[in-house]
């Protein structure tokens, strides 16, 4: 290929690439409650029995940017992240025979916020998990995680660590056990 055609081809590839990137929606980093398991003994302080309602503080999708690079970045839905934490938490509570029922009078309202993730040699992430109890008390758990793999795995790990710490949190245990 002559120099003229190779430069023209290279320009065409760059223009197509920029056009494709400009037309793409920013990446949404989703989470899953099945990526990692909460350690088996995390809920050991919960008494068997009892009923608790776990509620999401977000009534609808709440997208935020968790990493910025120029005009683009990574986005997350805080409602979906909180749903992931609720599912992880409910699974562990049910292993201790604590019933999770949305109609229960004892309530825990959960909210994941202040999420960040950043790429590099590893993906680093942090999350804050807040639990507000029906008696007005609350707990705030801040965790971090690193993953050599993907942003979603790093955030899933941060959420798993937050749920694990919440299960051992003195205020959470006291409220659920009363």
Residues 70-125: tens digit of each pLDDT: 778 999 999 999 999 999 999 999 999 999 999 999 999 999 999 999 988 899 99
Decide if 70 is inside a domain: yes
Query: Tokens at residue 132, please?
Result: 């507000």
Would you say 126 and 144 are in contact if contact means Cβ atoms under 8 Å apart?
yes
Decide if 34 is inside a domain: yes
Residue span of the structural domain in which 132 resides: 27-177
Decide if 3 is inside a domain: no
User: For residue 105, what are the contacts with CB-CB under 8 A and spacing of at least 6?
Assistant: 53, 134
Decide if 20 is inside a domain: no
Res 70: pLDDT:
78
Q: In the structure, what pLDDT confidence band is assigned to residue 25 with cuts at 50, 70 and 90?
A: low
Decide if 21 is inside a domain: no
d(CA 121, CA 55): 36
Instruction: Provide mean pLDDT across the span 26-34.
Output: 90
CATH number, position 141? 3.40.50
Decide if 14 is inside a domain: no
Q: In the structure, what pLDDT confidence band is assigned to residue 141 with cuts at 50, 70 and 90?
A: very high
Give the residue from 118, 22, 17, 124 showing the smallest Cα distance to 69. 118
Inform me whether the pLDDT recorded for 175 exceeds 50: yes
User: For residue 90, what are the contacts with CB-CB under 8 A and spacing of at least 6?
Assistant: 54, 100
Task: Quote the pTM value.
Answer: 0.84
Q: Tell me how many domains the chain contains.
A: 1
Q: Name the burial class of residue 112, with classes exposed (0-12), middle (13-18) and buried (19+) by CB atoms within 10 angstroms of its CB.
A: buried
Decide if 2 is inside a domain: no
Q: In the structure, what pLDDT confidence band is assigned to residue 2 with cuts at 50, 70 and 90?
A: low
């Amino acid at each position: 290929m002559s120099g003229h055609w190779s430069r023209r081809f290279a320009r065409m590839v760059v223009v197509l690439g920029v056009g494709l990137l400009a037309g793409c929606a920013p990446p949404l980093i989703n989470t899953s409650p099945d990526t990692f398991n909460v350690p088996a003994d995390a809920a050991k302080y919960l008494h068997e029995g009892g009923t608790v309602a776990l509620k999401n503080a977000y009534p609808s999708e709440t997208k935020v940017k968790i990493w910025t690079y120029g005009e683009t970045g990574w986005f997350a839905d805080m409602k979906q992240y909180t749903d992931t934490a609720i599912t992880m938490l409910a699974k562990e509570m049910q292993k201790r025979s604590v019933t999770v029922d949305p109609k229960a009078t004892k309530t825990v309202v959960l909210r994941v916020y202040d999420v960040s993730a950043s790429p590099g040699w590893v993906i680093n992430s942090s999350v804050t998990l807040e639990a507000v109890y029906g008696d007005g008390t609350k707990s705030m758990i801040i965790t971090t995680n690193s993953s050599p793999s993907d942003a979603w795995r790093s955030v899933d790990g941060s959420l798993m660590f937050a749920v694990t710490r919440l299960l051992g949190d003195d205020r959470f245990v006291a409220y659920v056990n009363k």
